[in-house]
Amino acid sequence: MIYAISDIHGEYKQFLALLQKINFSENDTLYVLGDVVDRGAEPVKVLRYMMTRKNIIPIIGNHEVLACEGLKLLLGTITRDIVNRFNSKELEMMSNWIKIGANSTIGEFTKLDSDERREILEYISGFAPYKKVSAGGKNYLLVHAAIKGFAPNKPLDEYSVDDLVWERINYAIPYFDDIYTVTGHTPTQKILDNPRPGYVFRANNHIAIDCGAYIKGGRLAAICLDTGEEFYSR
């Protein structure tokens, strides 16, 4: 079976609980739609688990875009006065990243030895911008946030990563007639007039699967792309 989950945000225990609920095995494929890192307590633990599974395919989120830049600055020896080595552009970048929850990622990352840090950074740098998947007779586009500046005839490869990870999507307008767009980025608790906040939201060929794992009372969700079935960590 093929599954998609999104916005794990360091919630390692919920991630393992959800894998157990879907009986995730070597014969399955799991797409992770970005924002693995930041906010929750154990983002690096989640990454290290993902790195051991070839059938887990990561797609980049806005938090990984910032992590790729920020973690690069933390590859060398970590000293108390490390911030003094940053130029003003780097300081601004780090401060923006910390504002959206980077502390847990930085905390775990800086405890690793330098080889492990390099491996983690290399892994995150390889996250795909999007994936197209067919399952159960349906076509899916898996992307973290939205398609900024969407034009029906523009090839997906012509959008930048930033076009795909930051924008708030408009669920009222479908992108495609024959492709379901599966996204995370916006917890379904924050979708206006959503009858089922905190659960998978479907409208107009959109499927929103970020159910706010890091939010109090939220959860991590998986959908099976073959059957449409939903699974929750709690």
User: Which residues in this chain contact Mn ion in the complex, by CB under 5 A?
Assistant: 35, 61-62, 185
Considering the complex, what minimum distance in angstroms separates the CB of residue 62 from Mn ion?
A: 4
Comparing every residue's Cβ against Mn ion, the nearest one is 185
Minimal distance, residue 9 CB to Mn ion, in Å: 9
| Residue 46 · residue 16 · CB < 8 Å | no
Q: Whole-number minimum distance, CB 161 to Mn ion, in Å?
A: 12
Closest to Mn ion by CB, 72 vs 168, is 168
Q: Residue 212 CB, nearest distance to Mn ion (Å)?
A: 12
Total number of residues shown for the chain:
234
- Shorter beta-carbon distance to Mn ion: residue 35 or 42: 35
Residue 219 contacts by C-beta under 8 Å, 6 or more apart in sequence? Answer: 14, 198, 211, 212, 213, 232, 233, 234
Q: How far apart are CA 55 and CA 26, in angstroms?
A: 7
Specify the residue, 19 or 165, whose C-beta has the smaller distance to Mn ion: 165
Least Cα distance to 1 among 179, 229, 234, 233 occurs for 229
Residue number, 61 or 70, with CB nearest to Mn ion: 61
CA-based end-to-end distance of the chain:
21
